Structure 1
Amino acid sequence: MSSLTQALRVALDRRQPLLDELHAQGTDCYRLFHGSQEGAAGLTLDRYGPQLLVQSFHHSLEREPLLELIDTVQAHLQLNLLPVYNDRSRGNSRIDRQDSVHQPDDAALQDLVGHEWGLNYRVRGRHAGQDPLLFLDLRNARGWVRRHSQGKRVLNLFAYTCGVGLSAAAGGAREVCNLDFAEGNLAVGRENAALNPELPDMQFIQSDYFPAIRQLAGLPVTARRGQKLPAYPRLQAREYDLVLLDPPAWAKSAFGTVDLLRDYQSLLKPALLATAPDGVMICCNNLAKVPMEEWREQVLRCAAKNGRPVREWQVIQPAADFPSQDGQPPLKTLVLQF
């Protein structure tokens, strides 16, 4: 048995209590091996319902070690899964679609369905983007939203494929708005909604973050000197009871720059103003190099400075399928009660 397979077996044994709990909850989407913390940096194994997604970010896997990993997972779970191997060790984490190591079955690349707390989610091993359609480390935050959305107006910013919005709808929110720049992301969000027809309708807004959130906050949308802004959807100023802010690490547009390392405040300020005075905001930061304590104090200062002093706060840690040896996981999630 290779050292890699042995590390996987240890990880699976360590997860078994969590897997039992997740299966009882109606969840079959979770991380099986978190290589950066479990002995193989740059390697991840994730289950998405009937699919096993293996990804390598630093070095390509050889075929035999890959097949051994697949067999080990299937034997442990006592399931025949549909494996997809995405080699992302090339520039910009782009998927090598030549499949020189392992050719997935056609069935593995079809539209599939995974489950989280009984909700249905679209699963695709390959699609136009790079990342999976459901970020597994945000599961606990989605669960928190579901438990605290009853009767709330919920705004899901940088919504991606709208998992948080779906959780809010399942939790009894009276209104859910998902906002994202990419129509492809929102299209998957609409698929997720269609896969759960018993839930109330959600709203989907395709827009750059900055003009949308500034309008919702009642602030003007201004252009840089000498520049003309592109067209953007017109929105009315309003407040939400629960707002989730989960931006990417970095992005730039004609309206502004998303930079979690240097300028989280420019994202946070207008979102605070779109949150009801007695509402809740959930802030996320996925940069590993940013310490939780430092970022938390920055967020709390910004809130107080902008007339939204935080009455209580709490941290939502990722579940045990995302272990962190130093207690500082890359994804940091902070719940602010105003």
Structure 2
Amino acid sequence: MSTLNQALRAALANRDALLAELHHQGTDCYRLFHGSQEGAGGLTIDRYGPQLLVQTFHQQLSRDELLSAHELICAHLNQPLLLVYNDRSQGNSRIDRSDPIYPAEPAALDDLIGHEWGLNYRVRGRHPGQDPLLFLDLRNARGWVKQHSAGKSVLNLFAYTCGVGLAAAAGRASAVCNLDFAEGNLAVGQENGLLNPKLQVMEFIQSDYFPAIRQLAGLPIAQRRGQKLPSYPRLPQRQFDLVLLDPPAWAKSAFGTVDLLRDYQSLLKPALLATAEDGVLICCNNLSKVAMAEWREQVLRCASKLGRPVRDCQVLAPAADFPSRDGQPPLKTLILQL
């Protein structure tokens, strides 16, 4: 038996109880192998409904390794999953779409549907972006939002494909607003809404984060010296009962820079001001080099200085399909009761 198959068998056995729980709650999207922590750095294997998505970030798998892993997983789950292999080890982490190792069957690349917390989500093995359309490590946060959003207005910042917004709508939120810069991301979010027709219609705002959140928070939009700002949607000042802030590690625009390592405060301050009194702000940091204790202290200090002290702070860890040997997973989530 190969070293990879041994590691994969152990990972599947460790997930048996979790998978039974997930299937019971209506979830068939989860990580089956988290290579950096389970014996094969740079390899991830995820299930998205009827699809098995294998991705490599450091070194390609051989065809035999890939097909052996696929066969092992299908047998363990008793599911004939459609295989998609995306090699992201070359060319600045772009997906190799030439499929030199394994050309996916056409059915595997069709528009498919996966499920989480009983909701339907669009699944595509390949699309214009790099990442899957649903980030699985945020599942617990989406579940928390679904459970705690009844009657509340919800703002989903850096919404990506609007999974958090969909969870809020399923939790009977009074209003759901998804904000993201990318039109393609919001288009998938709208698809997700249409895949769940019994839920209320969500709001979608395509905008750079900084002008949008500063308007919602009642703050001026600063113009850099000698530079004319691009156009942006005009928004009224508004506070929300529940706000989720899940920014990328780094991004730059004419309005500002997203930098989770050096300047989380510039993202956090207006998000705090856009959160209503007695509201909840869920903030995330996915940068592995940032320690939870240090970041938590920074967040609490920033809130206190802004006059929005935190009454209670809860740490929400990813589920067990994202194991962490040192107890410090890259994705860190804080639930702040203001």
Amino acid at match of 1:92: N
Equivalents in 1 of 2:6, 2:85: separation in Å? 20
Residue-by-residue CA offset, 1:102-155 (whole Å, 9 max, x unaligned): 010000000000000110000000000000000000000000000000000000
Residue-by-residue CA offset, 1:6-34 (whole Å, 9 max, x unaligned): 10000000000000000001100000000
Aligned-pair distance for 1:93?
Answer: 1.2
> Does residue 163 of the first structure (1) align with residue 168 of the second (2)?
no
1:24-103 aligned at under 5 Å gives the runs: 24-103=24-103
Aligned-pair distance for 1:91?
Answer: 2.8
Structure 1: which 4+ aligned runs deviate by more than 2 Å? none
Amino acid at match of 1:306: L
Identity %: 77
Structure 1: 5+ residue runs without aligned partners? none
Instruction: State the secondary structure of the residue aligned to 1:128.
Output: coil
Partner of 1:202: 202
> Does residue 216 of the first structure (1) align with residue 216 of the second (2)?
yes
Equivalents in 2 of 1:146, 1:57: separation in Å? 32
1:1-338 aligned at under 5 Å gives the runs: 1-338=1-338
Q: Provide the TM-score with structure 1 as the length reference.
A: 1.00
Residue-by-residue CA offset, 1:80-113 (whole Å, 9 max, x unaligned): 0000000000132110011000010000000000
Tell me the matched-pair count.
338
Aligned-pair distance for 1:277?
Answer: 1.5
Equivalents in 1 of 2:194, 2:249: separation in Å? 30
Equivalents in 1 of 2:214, 2:79: separation in Å? 49
Equivalents in 2 of 1:14, 1:274: separation in Å? 41
Equivalents in 2 of 1:83, 1:196: separation in Å? 26
Equivalents in 2 of 1:31, 1:139: separation in Å? 11
Instruction: State the secondary structure of the residue aligned to 1:18.
Output: helix
Instruction: State the secondary structure of the residue aligned to 2:247.
Output: coil
Instruction: State the secondary structure of the residue aligned to 1:184.
Output: helix
Aligned-pair distance for 1:200?
Answer: 0.4
Equivalents in 1 of 2:254, 2:245: separation in Å? 20
Superposed CA RMSD in Å reads 0.4
Instruction: State the secondary structure of the residue aligned to 2:36.
Output: helix
